[in-house]
């Protein structure tokens, strides 16, 4: 598949994204699935950062158990349509414009606190 639009169309036709990895640094595949409106099933594990992206509105986190993972699949199939908008909204918060605005707000807050601290100690 050479056409990016074809790839996105195929992703959007999915009902869920299952990522049973126990070790992911961030989870770009999960974020891409959410951006396509697809709920994500992943493992709630300390070394798996994907679960941070998942809420009860955007997917399912299971224990490190094949049975628990298998139980989440029918749940995702049954609720994927009603989860679509929440998935898209969750992914939108990772848009570069949102990230840049959040980072700018953070730096402004740090600068203001620094100014306040300096004025408090007489610098």
Quote the number of domains for the chain.
Answer: 2
User: What range defines the domain where residue 115 resides?
Assistant: 94-123
Instruction: Note whether 59 and 37 are same-domain residues.
Output: yes
CATH number of the domain to which 78 belongs: 3.40.50.2000
- pTM strictly above 0.85: no
- Cα distances (Å, whole numbers) of residue 90 to 4, 77, 108, 109, 122: 22, 19, 25, 24, 44
Instruction: Note whether 101 and 51 are same-domain residues.
Output: no
- Encode pLDDT of 101-113 as tens digits: 888 999 999 999 8
Instruction: Note whether 109 and 83 are same-domain residues.
Output: no
Instruction: Note whether 77 and 98 are same-domain residues.
Output: no
Supply 32's token pair.
């891409």
45 touches 22 (CB < 8 A): yes
- Encode pLDDT of 41-52 as tens digits: 999 999 998 888
């Amino acid at each position: 598949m050479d056409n990016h639009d074809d790839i996105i169309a195929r992703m959007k036709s999915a009902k869920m994204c299952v990522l049973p990895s126990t070790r992911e640094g961030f989870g770009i595949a999960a974020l891409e699935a959410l951006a396509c409106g697809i709920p994500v099933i992943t493992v709630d594990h300390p070394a798996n950062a994907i679960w941070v992206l998942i809420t009860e509105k955007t997917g399912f986190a299971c224990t490190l158990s094949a049975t628990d993972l298998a139980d989440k699949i029918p749940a995702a199939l049954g609720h994927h349509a009603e989860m679509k908008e929440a998935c898209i909204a969750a992914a939108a918060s990772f848009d570069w414009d949102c990230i840049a605005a959040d980072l700018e707000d953070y730096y402004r807050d740090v600068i203001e606190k620094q100014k306040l601290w300096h004025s408090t100690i007489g610098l």
